[in-house]
A and B are shown apart, each in its own frame.
Chain A
Amino acid sequence: MQNLPQTEEKTSTDMFASLSSQEYKYGFSTDIETDSFPKGLSEEVIRKISAIKEEPEFMLEFRLKSYEAFKNMVDPDWAKLNIPAIDYQDIIYYSAPKAKPTKESLDEVDPEILKTYEKLGIPIEEQKRLEGIAVDAIFDSVSVANTHKKALAEIGIIFCSISEAIKEHPELVKKYIGSVVPHTDNFFSALNGAVFSDGTFVYIPPNTKCPLELSTNFRINTKGSGQFERTLIVCDDESYVSYLEGCTAPAFDENQLHAAVVELVAKEKSEIKYSTVQNWYAGDENGVGGIYNFVTKRAKCEGRDSKVSWTQVETGSAITWKYPSCILQGDNSIGEFYSVALTNNMQQADTGTKMIHIGKNTKSTIISKGISAGKSSNSYRGLVKVTPNAKGARNYTQCDSMLIGSTNAANTFPYIEVDGKSAKVEHEASTSKISEEQLFYLQQRGINVEDAIGLIISGFCKDVFKELPGEFAAEANQLMSLQLENSVG
């Protein structure tokens, strides 16, 4: 969202007062040995990361180019966020579990790590056998296990860590990395380009419907480390893939930085469905600790009749800065964005999307549901741009915010820029307090307040939840209730 300019002054610090507590279910750290670099960022660190990973020359060049760009940029300050100054020299840029990860057999994975996943509710052993989902798990910065790989390879699908892809499929990575999010795009993406340590790579060959839901789980474990994963998904002509991303982190009292980049490329008549349930540690009720989630996600609908659909449920992180976007380049291409962003206590979220209509008859749909509780701040920010050539473009946007509890901030900042008469753009937004009349109605039927709120909220979010793959929808509902516990007096 580089070209969204600076807006309103930042939220005032008086918002930072204490509030009711909420427990973070995933707040444990795993006691395993890790290989970490000392803190700090320099060309040397970048060269070292590249060397450890035995990367080809083009990758090192990309990293150095990104670092050069990063050095000339400043943190974006236009979002409605109060971001404490981040010392980028005080971050560990590389941290990997010491036992060398292997993707061939889960038996070789450190049992402590596997236990962690079990606690997270994503036992890989189970998942592996589970029909329908292939899991790649990113622990701190490195991909540790990847199930179902062989089965997928048989039909030409590549699903592996990006480090592996860089070595095994350099031509594909070289072609697409930075093609959607260039290294100069923004401060955080440039940082990611310089130091990313792992991530996921997916390639679906032409005329292939990926038979499994692909899934990655991200977890930050080491204290003081940043996580900079990079995901690249390329869906070739007339293919389909559905990808799920889940995120958790232990509860540390210091903030941790997560600056990921996700690039999606959709070719002719292909479809990518990308779903995220983000539940990074949000900090405690006083705003101490928690993840800074500064993520750049962008899709290019390159081919005609292609489609990309982003679905996100954002309940975690101390600060979220994220705008999964679609560049609708191919004629008749479709972009969708379904989002639920829930903030409680001192959480801050500035999230939304950009839909850039370039091809003819391109369509986009934006459904955003914001829920703010506690003293949190929750903003929707979005851009719908119809360029002169995008004849027949259509957009429908609906942004609703629900307010729960005491004092908080809820903002809606759409930017709509349209050229020409053939476009049709509709935007609606509303903000209101959770309805006391509805709460009373449910209570009169014997349902207690907390359940009643849960029910109303899941109803409010239904249009988004229904876009999530089955078990994720249930999980999302649970997460919401968990996050809202004690938020209503």
Chain B
Amino acid sequence: MQLEEKKKKEIEFLEKVFRAGSSTLSNISPIADKQKKAVERISELGFPNRKIEDWKYYDFSPILDNFLSFDTCKITQIEKESLKDFLFPECEKNLLVTVNGHFSEKLSNFSFSKEDISILNFNDPEQLKSYQGLDDLVEKYFAEGIENESNFFKACNTALLSNAFLLKVKEGVQLKETLQILHISNEHCFNQTRSLIHLGANSKINIIVTYVGLAEIPFVNNAVIETVLEEGSELVLDKIQDDTQKGILLYDLKAKLLKNSRFEYSSLNLKANSSRDKISVDIDEEGAHADINGLYILNGERKAHNVITVNHNVGNSTSSQLFKGILSDKARAEFNGAINVARDANGTDAEQMNRHLVLSDEAHVDSRPQLNILADDVKCAHGSTIGDLEEDEIFYLLSRGIKKDDALAMLTLSFCDEVIQKVKIESARQHIKNMALENLDTQMHKANIVHNLR
């Protein structure tokens, strides 16, 4: 792209955001305030570029090249039948569906008691009013710190807010069943989805979020999740990215962990043309633990970017990160993960592991594990490996009479398994495995081996 032309597109993009932003200003004043701050932040930041460390390896052209409308994201008629590949039987009774960013009552289903869990569009004054005390929560945690936000697209999401889900689990409520949140895109547009998940003290919930593209047209999904874990609460959040091959996903997850809370997160990237996951975890009180995992299986010319920051803002807390990627064809992956230990956050124990399996000559990996440590009594470690399958392991299997193709498929799948096993629901694990094998097919050229392993 010519420099001039690129600049022009960036300006056009900004203009569109500003225009759309002013028309989407919320009727709820604390939300509108944050939106105004977001617009300010957007103009401060400007359209991002590769000189910014966090965007060093990102290619903006798919976003700029696809002419995208910000205001035509409509809810379209979808039959439940067409979703069956993306639904997990375990979550049949607790399903929240959005279509192009809009909540679909028809497709959704809840069996949780309203006492235990509130789910609402908090940008709707009527709904917000009917739940007492929730406005405080929204005021406090929605777009917290937006005035210093570093992610341009999160600021856009805030400015362009339309539907915004609040999911609040009541203090002390421990939900056994898993909630599935399904975000569907089938329009050529720039989708904004936004959720705020709040876990009351000592509550517990498992959520599986799926992003699905139903049409082979380009779209950008700009998703933001903010979550707050109050004292002693536990959130298991699995995110499956199942977009079409043309989908572009921008994703921003921010988790705030309070005393003795526990956050388990797994991100599984199975499709999408390009995805960028920005994950920031703030450990703000002692005794908290964060377990952040990811798996991306990339073929063709697909790209995946993971930009992770785990901030130990206080000591006596622990975190672990495990990110694995498999690349074939001309795929590209970036892992940019930092462990930040604040001054005096003594007693921090943090680790991070990033592994890449590269199966083709043309695939490319950028790995940037980082440690930023300002305290003196800590234990931190990271590791990063990049390479093909181990010769020794292949040989071992061959020596036990296993055919070479089977051996390769087995080893590749076992490489993924460590992350897949973190997902809590059996049917989701199976789905991920199937998708993984499908993606690997192109590399293995041996559909039958892969099928045997299913």
Contacts and interface: CB of A to CB of B under 8 A. Distances in A.
Contact present between A and B (CB < 8 A): yes
Given A424-B388, A429-B382, A429-B383, A403 B365 contact: no
Contacts of B359: 421
A432 B349 CA distance: 9
Given A421-B359, A425-B385, A411 B372 contact: yes
Interface in A1-17: 5-8
A404 B378 CA distance: 11
Which of A418, A427, A432 has the most chain B CB atoms closer than 10 A to its own CB?
Answer: A418
Interface string B356-376: 101111111111111111111
B365 A417 contact: yes
A424 B376 CA distance: 33
B53 interface: yes
A90 B322 CA distance: 51
A407 B376 contact: yes
A431 B380 contact: yes
B46 interface: no
Contacts of B358: 418, 420-421, 423
A423 B383 contact: no
Interface in B369-411: 369-388
Nearest to A11: B374
Given A415-B366, A429-B383, A8 B372 contact: yes
Nearest to A394: B387
Contacts of A401: 371, 373
Contacts of B373: 401, 403, 409-411, 431
A297 B176 CA distance: 60
B56 interface: yes
Given A407-B374, A415-B366, A430 B381 contact: yes
Interface centre among B56, B368, B374, B388 (most CB of A within 10 A): B374
Nearest to B387: A424
A423 B388 CA distance: 8
Given A418-B358, A428-B381, A428-B383, A433 B376 contact: yes
A416 B368 contact: yes
Q: Among the interface residues B56, B368, B370, B376, which one has the most CB atoms of the partner chain A within 10 A?
A: B376
Contacts of A418: 356, 358, 364-367, 386
A388 B374 contact: no
B381 A416 contact: no
A413 interface: yes
B327 to A, nearest CB: 8
A427 B355 CA distance: 10
Contacts of A419: 361-364
A405 interface: yes
B442 to A, nearest CB: 14
A412 B373 CA distance: 9
A428 B383 CA distance: 4
Nearest to A427: B384
B344 A403 contact: no
A416 B384 CA distance: 9
B51 interface: yes
A423 B366 CA distance: 13
B343 interface: yes
Nearest to B379: A432
Given A403-B378, A424-B387, A425-B386, A416 B372 contact: no
**Interface bracket on A:** 35 or more
A433 B380 CA distance: 10
Contacts of A412: 369-371, 382
Interface in A166-191: none
B364 A405 contact: no
Given A405-B376, A415-B368, A432-B380, A422 B53 contact: no
A406 interface: yes
A414 interface: yes
- Highest count of chain B CB atoms <10 Å: which of A388, A409, A422: A409
Interface in A452-479: none
A7 B369 CA distance: 14
A443 interface: no
Contacts of A388: 361-362
Contacts of B388: 421-422, 424
B376 A420 contact: no
A408 interface: yes
Contacts of A54: none
Contact of A432 (B361, B367, B378): B378
B381 to A, nearest CB: 4
Contact of B363 (A7, A420, A432): A420
Contacts of B370: 411-414
A89 B284 CA distance: 47
Contacts of A413: 368, 370
Given A421-B363, A426-B385, A427-B384, A411 B376 contact: no
A433 B408 CA distance: 42
Contact of B56 (A5, A426, A431): A5
A431 B371 contact: yes
Nearest to A383: B368
A424 B386 contact: yes
B381 A407 contact: no
Nearest to B360: A421
B53 A414 contact: no
B385 A417 contact: no
B384 to A, nearest CB: 4
B13 to A, nearest CB: 23
A409 B374 contact: yes
Contacts of B344: 407
A431 B380 CA distance: 5
Contacts of B376: 403-408, 433
Given A407-B344, A433-B378, A425 B387 contact: yes
A432 B381 CA distance: 8
26 contacts: A388-B361, A388-B362, A401-B371, A403-B376, A403-B377, A405-B376, A407-B376, A409-B373, A412-B370, A412-B382, A416-B368, A417-B365, A417-B367, A423-B387, A424-B386, A425-B384, A425-B385, A426-B383, A426-B386, A427-B367, A427-B383, A427-B384, A427-B385, A428-B383, A429-B383, A432-B379
Given A421-B363, A421-B388, A423-B358, 14 more contacts: A5-B51, A406-B376, A407-B343, A410-B371, A412-B369, A414-B368, A417-B366, A424-B386, A427-B369, A427-B384, A431-B371, A431-B373, A431-B380, A432-B379
* 10 residue pairs, one from A and one from B, having the closest CB atoms: A424-B387, A430-B381, A412-B371, A416-B367, A425-B386, A427-B384, A421-B358, A420-B361, A403-B376, A421-B388
Interface of B: 51, 53, 56, 343-344, 356, 358-388
